[in-house]
């Protein structure tokens, strides 16, 4: 796996490099601290994934992201200390495949990295194939049917809209601002309303509200739906 790492923090560079050496043997990591150089490397070489920081010394990472999306098909994983929902939503709208907040654990990093690579390589599901199964939970995005251990689950319209947004994200983070816009058609984010809806979904799906493993919160920034167990 060839990785382009555009990151100016040496500690983060070494942490990611070591993580890949230990858990993804054979990975070839090419790193640069400069955004302009990262764009040039992506133009002249083929990479399986790009890991991009937003706080670069020569150019804002958002500009780098926009430029990369003009010509590169490689999935892009943002790793940044910028944690506001608006910034994350903007990055995803531009075309980032996922967004990780600093500091992060190596397990979370590896999970997100594997997810964006698999997502980019997997053919998009056709009608009749959009079904997710996990630990007795079955979600059919075409028929809008949900079952837990073969028992039907009744969801409200809003609950279904939230769930389908999370499931269709493919395990990637869905910012609060995006949920507000797509589910409630609102430009303002009612955090308490979203949290309440997520809480009800967890209960109905059999997800432990105290230690959830299906719908995971990201520090009041957004949520992920995990299709499989992650240790």
Please give the residue range of the domain that contains residue 108. 2-121
pLDDT digits (tens, 9 = 90+) for 76-101: 999 999 988 788 889 988 999 999 99
Full-model pTM: 0.78
Who contacts 166 (Cβ-Cβ below 8 Å, separation ≥6)?
174, 215, 223, 224, 225
Kindly give, in sequence order, each residue whose CB lies less than 8 Å from that of residue 106, ignoring residues fewer than 6 positions away: 15, 19, 23
| % of the chain exceeding 70 in pLDDT | 95
Asked whether residue 149 falls in the same domain as residue 82, the answer is no
**Is 184 part of any domain?**
yes
Q: What does the H/E/C string look like for 86-104?
A: HHHHHHHHHCCCEEEECCC
Residue 126 forms part of a structural domain? no
Closest CA to 15 of 74, 88, 100: 100
Average pLDDT, the chain: 90
- pLDDT for residue 129 is more than 60: no
Position 215 scores a pLDDT of 94
> What secondary structure letter does DSSP report for 185?
-
Handedness of CA 213, 217, 219, 222 (dihedral sign): positive
Listed residue (62, 58, 60, 96) closest to 77, CA to CA? 96
* Position 230 in a domain: no
Number of domains forming the structure of the chain: 2
pLDDT of residue 49: 96
Using 50, 70 and 90 to split pLDDT, how confident is the model at 15?
Answer: very high
Verify that 92 and 193 share a domain, yes or no: no
What number is the average pLDDT over the span 43-71?
Answer: 96
Residue 161 has pLDDT above 60, yes or no: yes
């Amino acid at each position: 796996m060839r990785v382009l790492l555009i990151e100016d923090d040496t500690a983060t560079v070494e942490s990611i490099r070591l993580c890949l050496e230990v858990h993804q043997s054979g990975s070839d990591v090419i790193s640069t601290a400069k955004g302009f150089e990262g764009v040039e490397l992506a133009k002249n070489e083929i990479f399986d994934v790009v890991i991009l920081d937003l706080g670069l010394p020569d150019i804002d990472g958002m500009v780098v992201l926009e430029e990369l999306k003009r010509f590169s098909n490689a999935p892009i994983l943002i790793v940044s200390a910028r944690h506001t929902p608006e910034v994350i939503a903007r990055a995803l709208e531009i075309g980032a495949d996922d967004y990780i907040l600093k500091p992060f654990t190596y397990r979370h990093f590896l999970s997100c990295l594997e997810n964006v690579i698999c997502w980019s390589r997997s053919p998009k599901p056709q009608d009749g194939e959009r079904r997710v199964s996990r630990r007795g939970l079955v979600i059919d995005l075409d028929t809008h049917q949900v079952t837990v251990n073969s028992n039907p689950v009744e969801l409200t319209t809003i609950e279904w809209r939230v769930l389908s947004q999370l499931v269709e994200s493919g395990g990637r983070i869905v910012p609060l601002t995006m949920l507000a816009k797509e589910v409630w058609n609102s430009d303002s984010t009612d955090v308490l309303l979203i949290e309440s809806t997520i809480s009800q979904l967890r209960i109905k799906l059999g997800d432990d509200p105290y230690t959830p493993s299906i719908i995971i919160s990201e520090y009041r920034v957004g949520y992920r739906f995990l299709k499989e167990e992650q240790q």
